Structure 1
Amino acid sequence: MTLLRTVARPMLASMFVAGGTMALRKPDALAAKAQPIADVLRKVAPQARLSPRNVVRLNAAVHIAAGTALATGHLPRTSALVLAATMPVTTVSGHPFWNETDPVARRNQRAHFLKNVSLTGGLLMSTLDPEPHKPWLGTRARNTAVAAKDSLVDHVDDLRK
């Protein structure tokens, strides 16, 4: 891993690990904002126990796990993609500045909303950041499939001889 990646990945992941830890420790503080998400998820999966507190805990656990993986360089592109996938719902439910009537609160929520949008952009860029001399997972999968096909063709040719 290059020096830039060694420094940048933990910096990008820090907000997710810290925020996830705080949310996991105090889910009640965010449960009210998660209520609409829990309601939608209960319609999709009625058998799941999806209270607002559990939704907050689940999101927090994902942020901690994927943030730690990103920070330590384990599956960095996958963990960045997982974090980026959680951000739209987290951002819209957590910082609805358009609902604020107080100008100061509105500015504060807008700043946090835009911070999350910026973090999402950084995460999406991280999904494209290849390790030096290491092909992307899709390329490795394609190469493995091509090698398996070539091996199978060779075996079939040997059988025909």
Structure 2
Amino acid sequence: MRPVRTAARAMLASFFVLDGVRTLTRPEARVEAARPLTDRVTPMLERTDPRLPTDPLTLVRVKAAADVLAGLALATGRFTRPAATVLAAGLVPHTLADKGDREHLLRNLGLLGGLLLAAADTEGRPGLRYRTSHAVDRSQRSVRRAVRTAKREAKIAAASAAAARRLPG
């Protein structure tokens, strides 16, 4: 499965890397399409931290840079789950902005589905929840074993002390 996962991630990431590079080279083309969304987000950003950029051009550039970096991480197999999560989170507002164009909406929904699969993929290795629960179970078994051993050793020590008291001398 490893070659299939590698190829699938590279194909999925290529869209985001190319689109991000295109947007970084000519961000003005995307500013007008993003303006309705950035106008809604700007007051929230200003309340959160006044130092954050709020102009649409900068926000479009930041999203494009995030798409390129996360796409490269996904394609190279580094931090694949966080990278897929970042790309999916960035795709949601993009999909909402394209809601009038059915073809773009369906394309974005397909990409979002692929990103969700990539974000959930553990490559056959157990996930964090599984590893944590099993580590807890192993720890509890070790503690129970240690308690049984301590009780057994205490009984042996008590029997030895009683036998030693009965010996002459």
- Shorter-chain TM-score range: 0.7 to 0.9
| Structure 1 CA distance for aligned equivalents of residues 56 and 129 of structure 2 | 36
Identical residues among aligned pairs (%): 39
CA contact (8 A) 2:53 2:59 kept: no
How many residues of Structure 1 are paired with residues of Structure 2 in the alignment?
A: 144
Aligned partners of 1:66 and 1:138: how far apart in 2? 24
Q: Which runs of 4+ in 1 moved over 4 A?
A: 140-144
Unaligned runs of at least 5 residues, structure 2: 148-169
Letter of the 1:96 partner, please give it.
Answer: K
For residue 5 of structure 2, what is the aligned residue in structure 1? Answer: 5
Tell me, in whole angstroms, the C-alpha distance in 2 between the residues paired with 1:77 and 1:51. Answer: 30
Aligned-residue Cα RMSD (Å) equals 2.7
User: CA-to-partner distance for each residue in 1:100-159, whole Å, 9 max, x for gaps?
Assistant: xxxxxxxxx311211011100111111221123x22244445667x49x77xx8xxx9xx
Distance (whole Å) between structure 2 residues aligned to residue 45 and residue 18 of structure 1? 28
Measured in 1, the distance between the counterparts of 2:90 and 2:132 equals: 25
Distance 2:132 2:62 in 1: 30
Q: What is aligned with 1:96?
A: 99
Maintained 8 Å contact 1:10/1:70: yes
Tell me how far apart the structure 1 counterparts of residues 81 and 70 of structure 2 sit (CA, whole Å): 10
For residue 63 of structure 1, report the CA deviation from its aligned partner: 0.7
Structure 1 CA distance, aligned partners of 2:132 and 2:24?
35
Are residues 1:71 and 2:62 paired?
no
Residue ranges of structure 1 left out of the alignment (5+ in a row): 98-108
Deviations 1:56-107 (A, max 9, x none): 11111111111111111111122111111111201121x232xxxxxxxxxx
TM norm structure 1: 0.75
Matched residues in 1 for 2:63 and 2:5: separation?
Answer: 25
Separation in structure 2 between the aligned mates of residue 36 and residue 141 of structure 1, nearest angstrom: 43
Contact 1:70–1:76 (8 Å) recurs in 2: yes
CA distance in 2 between partners of 1:27 and 1:142 (Å)? 47
> Match of 2:35, SS?
helix
| Inter-partner Cα distance in structure 1 for 2:16 and 2:105 | 15
Among 49, 59, 63, the residue aligned to 2:63: 59
Rounded Cα–Cα distance in structure 2 between residues aligned with 1:57 and 1:138: 36
SS at match of 2:121: coil
Which entry has the higher C-alpha Rg, 1 or 2? 2
The two structures have a TM-score, normalised by structure 2, of 0.72
